[in-house]
Amino acid sequence: MADQKDGNDRKTTVLEDLKGLKEVVKVKTQEQVEELKKPQETQLYRSIFRIKHDEEPRNRALSTLNNLFFHIHPAKVNRDATRYGYTWGLGGITFYLFIVLVFTGVMLMFYYHPTKVQAFRDILYLENDVPFGRLLRNMHRWAAHLMVMAVWLHMFRVFMSGSYKRPREFNWCVGVLLMVLTLLLSFTGYLLPDDQLGFWAVTVGTNMARATPLLGHQGPFGPQLGMTPYNDVRFALLGGSIVDANALLRAYIWHCIAIPLIASVFMGVHFWRVRKDGGISGPSPVMLESEAKN
């Protein structure tokens, strides 16, 4: 376009190029502005999102299917399944809270040493000196409580809507294990501030492990199997016979690495099975007693 007046491919001299520069810049700038008015058609945008975002059913579907984060969903869902009134949104809220907890948890890890000398001071430091440190800790704490509440209420909803029935029996079992992992995550985090509250809660909790049948030194048939305070299941949990430095380290590793990893695997299975079992359970059309198959 810049060469319109010549219309040929004669090689130009540098001087001529410089003379035409003003015109070229003007035209190119106009082109650039026009292009930026449609950012969705830029090379950059297309390289990231891979598809056109036109108002077409096909592109709507692709926007879900071609996105790593969204392809957890099917392209289309039952019209009534999007109602809050059916699912109460609690499974998704639980997952969202898990993400919030991972995010705030990683931030907290930057300031925390799992040692008897440092742990409690790190909390004081977080609360009083770290910018937004108190907010961070509060959010982590309350999100953990909210997650336990959301998990329980999610289980309540799934039961009441009969969503554990065929073919979703196994996913209900995965869900039960995820609930147990949620409680364990919350409980292992309880010890980490290394204050009286966590110390005694974990002392009370792990004292029960003494009484494990066969594996605890105070449990039925434990002593007969050679269990002592120094080799039983409680010792394994605490890394010692009392709640001390090793217990703090073990709680930290379980809380920050081991259980989140295990829970993530189970979550993957849980979400994958939701899809493989035919999407969320309903709201399905009601059946009558006379139609119940044997």
Partner 1 sequence: MFGDWHQLWVIISTPDNIPIVAMLGLVPFFTWFAFHNMLANDRLIAQLEADPQLARTHHRTTYPYNSRWERELHTNPFLMRKELLAAIIITIILMVWALTLNAPLEEPANASVTMNPAKAPWYFLGLQEMLEYFDPWIAGVLVPTLIIIGLMAIPYIDANPLGNGYYTYHQRRHAVWTFLIGFEAIWLVLVCIGTFIRGPGFMWYWPTQTWDPDRVEFNVNRNLDQILGINGSWISHILPTAWRPEAAIIARALWGIIPMVVYGVLAALFIHWICKRSAYSRKIYSKMSIIQTVTMYIFLITMLFVPVTIFLRLVFRIKYIWETPWFSI
Binders of partner 1 among residues 157 to 196 (CB under 8 A) are: 157, 159-166, 168-169, 172-173, 176-177, 180, 183, 186-187, 190, 193-196
Residues 36-75 binding partner 1 (CB under 8 A) are: 57, 60-61, 63-64, 70, 73-75
Question: Least distance (Å) from partner 1 to the CB of residue 193?
Answer: 6
Site stretch for partner 1 (CB under 8 A), options 18-26, 129-137, 251-259, 262-270 = 129-137
CB 230 within 8 A of CB 217: no
Only one residue has tokens 């190029």, namely: 17
Between 142 and 230, whose beta carbon lies closer to partner 1? 142
Question: Least distance (Å) from partner 1 to the CB of residue 41?
Answer: 20
Question: Least distance (Å) from partner 1 to the CB of residue 214?
Answer: 10
Question: Least distance (Å) from partner 1 to the CB of residue 159?
Answer: 5
* Residue-level length of the chain: 294
Coil/strand/helix, residue 22 = helix
Instruction: Give the whole-angstrom CA distance, residue 235 versus residue 247.
Output: 9
Tell me: does residue 123 bind partner 1 (CB under 8 A).
yes
Residues 5-34 binding partner 1 (CB under 8 A) are: none
Tell me: does residue 273 bind partner 1 (CB under 8 A).
no
In whole angstroms, how far apart are CA 18 and each of 7, 36, 128, 269, 274? 18, 26, 63, 64, 65
Name the token pair of 185. Answer: 């995550």
Question: End-to-end distance of the chain based on CA atoms, in angstroms?
Answer: 77
CB 289 within 8 A of CB 186: no
Site stretch for partner 1 (CB under 8 A), options 3-11, 23-31, 44-52, 278-286 = 278-286
Residues 198-257 binding partner 1 (CB under 8 A) are: 198-201, 203-205, 207-213, 216, 218-221, 242-243
Q: Which amino acid is at 250?
A: R
Which backbone phi and psi does 67 adopt, to 5 degrees? -115, 125
Instruction: Give the whole-angstrom CA distance, residue 237 versus residue 240.
Output: 8
Residues 70-99 binding partner 1 (CB under 8 A) are: 70, 73-86, 88-89, 92-93, 96-97
Question: Least distance (Å) from partner 1 to the CB of residue 172?
Answer: 5
Instruction: Give the whole-angstrom CA distance, residue 266 versus residue 274.
Output: 12
